[in-house]
Structure 1
Amino acid sequence: MTISLDLPRQILNAQTEARKPENIKKEDVGGMLVENSRDPEKFRMKKLEPRTDGTLCLNGRSWLPCYGNLQTVIMHKSHKSKYSIHPGSDKMYQDMKKLYWWPNMKANIATYVSKCLICTKVKAEHQKPSGFLVQPKIPEWKWDN
């Protein structure tokens, strides 16, 4: 997966917007923030750790907020780059979870991959095509064919 030089700045901008008081309710990181704390910003800082570039990470992975379309951009880059060549949803999730985190990440990746037209065209079909069922002839005698 290739990462452009502009990506850390985009992540920082999205995280800054998501931490604003008017957006914090929408950005309820999987129910960990607003419902469980009287002071959501204080609770957020306990879970999200700052990096040297200013972005916040959760357990060593960059947190991608729902604000903006950053999640879609990163899924697009990691799925259609010339180095990854359209991985399936499981492989793509395993690659992306090393670097990024957002709520419902695995389901979002599975949905994204299932909507990829190239993947659906190329995907091998593992079932035999079903046709009309034909009743075999029953012989009148044991060894009669």
Structure 2
Amino acid sequence: MTENVKIIQQRLKTAQGRQESYVDQRRRDLEYKVGDHVIVKVTLIKGHARFGKKGKLTPRYIGPFQILERLGHVAYRIALPTGMEQVHNIFLVSMLRGYLRDPFHVIDYHRIALDDDMMYEE
């Protein structure tokens, strides 16, 4: 019986090593620096409206936000706007995605000429 146990243990080690190699091929260690900009994943709760939208139109990510501090290996403190005081500002790296700042994403609202009825022409 001990020989059968040894064979089973060897097969389990082989299968575990194979599965570990599959996972390691796709794994990438995420690391951000202080001052980088990230977007934060919003966890979806069925039936609740988030950010004024409900269902499919709910945003999956919000941001971009700046990283203020790194706490340990997997946690970061994020600079959240004043309207989000009820949300804790520490997030795990799995909930963050890198954001490359692009000046074309920002619209300069001073250059848009609005009429008195708040309309504009392109």
TM range (shorter): under 0.3
Q: TM-score, normalised by structure 2?
A: 0.21
Higher helix share: 1
Structure with the bigger percentage of strand: 2
